[in-house]
């Protein structure tokens, strides 16, 4: 019975029904990109501190071997995704905004794809203590594959300190063009469900909702079949309507739990933990097969590529290699976007590698029409579509007025940058760009204030310390005088003599 999916439309505000544009890339099965000549592995593929390299230039590495270890409380290790020789540590364009450079580890592959003993690394998780299991997950280099790339193990550890009742496995892939989660659920549903069971064990809870959109019937059938074959009563499939951005972490919780995640809080505040289906499958591959996170499914699509499809690419494969494998660019490819059309990042070169966060490679061939930015006419369409019920038009005015205080009050930090307001604006105001800049500015101001505050505290404690010392000196002096008076004239004379003889000695 648990194979059947239930439908949910919790309280929902705003959002957009966007053309899915997914059929192009789901027409054929996931294909594996062969080992490239060169792998480029950025050390920071996750949020938090970059990993620290544990290999040297010239070392031979094997597939699955640790090449950079987690560093700090919030970090994740990086593994080699094929065998070869470490060629260099160098700065390389990555898929940050506009393809800025970042420190990377470059491996020249030997094409043998020799692996470390993966089977030996697999563990029997059911016999493990949750804490040991979490440590094990940490070693797999697994991060949130939905796009936020938060280290999974840390997320689980944080969740274990809260009262938790539900694990939500998020298969709501609401952004147009992206279909990697859809294809994963169609082809490898048992990996997703297996991973969900591992996480249930690690968290010590027995309720899991696998959430996916109602416009993905094939994924739904595959998951339902796999679930009834598995017969796990703890896991329930849930369908939600496909409205962008229903796949956001807080939005999914809102839909299936009918509660809002408090502002500035996490889903764990309302008893939920949300993991992307890809992340959950990666956990399964690591724990049950011993394969750390060295590859991921990514969607190659857009009218700038000849053959849209989903591929499984080794992390570190450059986008140029991936596109070449899929059949190349269309004639007028003009924009390369890593991520989806709503939240993706435009990069200037295809030398950037596929990393843990790369869920989609979108190539557009037409010049994206940019309307001139016109004055806001207060039409309020942006407010109609905001899933967080912000008033983007007011945020825009206070952004122009550079009023951080007011922006905070109006909830700028609650903005999830989904891009809905931006898309519907008839005056073509790039609202999200404005909001990103305002957020950065607010952080900057807060840091400045913090610095000033620290300096003030330092100054105050210093003057306090000086005052205490001075008072102590005065007290000591008074004490000496007092004791001298109490001692009487002979002793004073003796003291003076002693002082004189000391002076003459010098």
Binding residues for other proteins, per CB under 8 A?
13, 18, 98-99, 250, 254, 260-265, 320, 329, 333-337, 339, 341-350, 362, 364, 367-371, 374-381, 383-384, 387-391, 393-394, 409-411, 414, 419, 422-428, 430, 432-433
Query: How many Cα atoms within 13 Å fall on the side-chain side of residue 51?
Result: 29
Beta carbon nearer to other proteins, 90 or 349: 349
Shortest reach from residue 407's CB to other proteins, in Å: 11
Q: In what order do the strands lie in the sheet with 60-61?
A: 38-42, 101-109, 84-93, 60-61
Q: Alpha carbon of 306 to those of 20, 34, 333: distances in Å?
A: 19, 19, 10
Beta carbon nearer to other proteins, 312 or 406: 406
Beta carbon nearer to other proteins, 84 or 99: 99
Alpha helices by DSSP H, listed for 111-232, are 118-121, 130-139, 152-160, 180-187, 189-203, 217-230
Residues 6+ apart with CB under 8 A from 69: 51, 52, 54, 77
Element (DSSP H or E) covering residue 492: helix 489-505
Report whether 169 contacts 196 (CB < 8 A).
Answer: yes
Beta carbon nearer to other proteins, 339 or 353: 339
Whole-number Å distance between alpha carbons of 478 and 476 = 5
**DSSP-based three-state secondary structure for 435:** helix
Shortest reach from residue 458's CB to other proteins, in Å: 33
Shortest reach from residue 375's CB to other proteins, in Å: 3
Beta carbon nearer to other proteins, 6 or 433: 433
Shortest reach from residue 297's CB to other proteins, in Å: 22
Shortest reach from residue 250's CB to other proteins, in Å: 7
Shortest reach from residue 242's CB to other proteins, in Å: 16
Shortest reach from residue 428's CB to other proteins, in Å: 5
Shortest reach from residue 403's CB to other proteins, in Å: 13
Gap between the terminal Cα atoms of the chain: 101
Supply φ then ψ for residue 192, to 5 degrees: -65, -50
Shortest reach from residue 20's CB to other proteins, in Å: 13
Q: Tell me the DSSP string of 436-485.
A: HHHHHHHHHHHHHHHHHHHHHHHHHHHHHHHHHHHHHHHHHHHHHHHHHH
Using the CB atoms, write b or e for 14-43: b if 16+ within 10 Å: bbbebebbbebbbeeebeebebbebbbbbb
Whole-number Å distance between alpha carbons of 319 and 27 = 21
Beta carbon nearer to other proteins, 76 or 364: 364
What is the token pair recorded at 94?
């990555």
What is the token pair recorded at 323?
């596109």
Task: Pick the closest to residue 210 from 193, 194, 228, 187 (CA basis).
Answer: 193
Beta carbon nearer to other proteins, 231 or 375: 375
Beta carbon nearer to other proteins, 50 or 302: 302
Beta carbon nearer to other proteins, 183 or 333: 333
Beta carbon nearer to other proteins, 130 or 271: 271
Shortest reach from residue 204's CB to other proteins, in Å: 27
Residue position matching structure tokens 């194979």: 3
């Amino acid at each position: 019975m648990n194979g059947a999916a239930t439908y949910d439309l919790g309280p929902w505000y705003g959002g957009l029904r966007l053309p899915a544009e997914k059929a192009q890339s789901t027409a054929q099965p996931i294909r594996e990109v062969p080992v490239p000549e060169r792998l480029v592995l950025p050390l920071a593929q996750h949020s938090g501190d970059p990993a620290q390299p544990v290999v040297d230039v010239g070392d031979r590495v094997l597939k699955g071997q640790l090449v950079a270890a987690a560093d700090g409380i919030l970090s994740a290790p990086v593994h080699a995704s094929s065998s070869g020789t470490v060629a260099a540590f160098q700065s390389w364009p990555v898929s940050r905004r506009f393809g800025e450079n970042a420190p990377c580890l470059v491996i020249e592959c030997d094409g043998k794809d020799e692996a470390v003993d993966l089977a030996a690394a697999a563990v029997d998780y059911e016999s493990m203590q949750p804490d040991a299991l979490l440590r094990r997950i940490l070693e797999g280099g697994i991060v949130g594959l939905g796009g936020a790339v938060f280290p999974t193990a840390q997320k689980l550890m944080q969740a274990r300190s809260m009262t938790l009742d539900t694990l939500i496995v998020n298969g709501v892939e609401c952004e147009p063009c992206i279909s990697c989660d859809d294809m994963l659920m169609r082809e490898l549903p048992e990996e997703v469900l297996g991973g969900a069971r591992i996480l249930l064990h690690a968290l010590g809870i027995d309720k899991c909702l696998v959430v996916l959109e109602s416009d993905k019937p094939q994924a739904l059938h595959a998951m339902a079949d796999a679930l009834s074959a598995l017969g796990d009563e703890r896991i329930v499939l849930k369908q939600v309507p496909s409205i962008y951005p229903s796949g956001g972490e807080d939005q999914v919780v809102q839909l299936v739990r009918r509660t809002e995640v408090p502002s500035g809080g996490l889903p764990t505040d309302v008893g939920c933990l949300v993991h992307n289906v890809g992340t959950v499958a990666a956990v399964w591959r690591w724990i049950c097969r011993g394969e750390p996170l060295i590859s991921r499914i990514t969607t190659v699509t857009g009218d700038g590529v000849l053959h849209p499809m989903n591929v499984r690419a080794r992390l570190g494969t450059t986008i140029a290699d991936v596109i070449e494998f899929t059949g190349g660019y269309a004639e007028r490819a003009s924009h390369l976007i890593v991520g989806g059309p709503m939240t993706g990042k435009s990069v200037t070169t295809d030398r950037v590698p596929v990393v843990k966060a790369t869920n989609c490679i979108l190539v557009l061939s037409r010049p994206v029409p940019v309307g001139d930015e016109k004055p806001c006419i207060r039409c309020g369409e942006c407010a109609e579509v905001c899933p967080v019920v912000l008033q983007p038009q007011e945020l825009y005015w206070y952004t122009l007025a550079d009023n951080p205080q007011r922006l905070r009050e109006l909830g700028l930090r609650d903005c999830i940058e989904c891009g809905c307001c931006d898309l519907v604006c008839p005056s073509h105001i790039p609202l999200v760009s404005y909001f990103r800049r305002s957020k950065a500015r607010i952080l900057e101001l807060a840091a400045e204030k913090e610095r000033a505050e620290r300096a003030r505290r330092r100054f105050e404690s210093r003057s306090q310390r000086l005052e205490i010392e001075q008072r102590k000196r005065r007290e000591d002096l008074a004490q000496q005088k007092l004791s001298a008076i109490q001692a009487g004239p002979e002793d004073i004379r003796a003291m003076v003599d002693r002082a004189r003889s000391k002076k003459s000695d010098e």
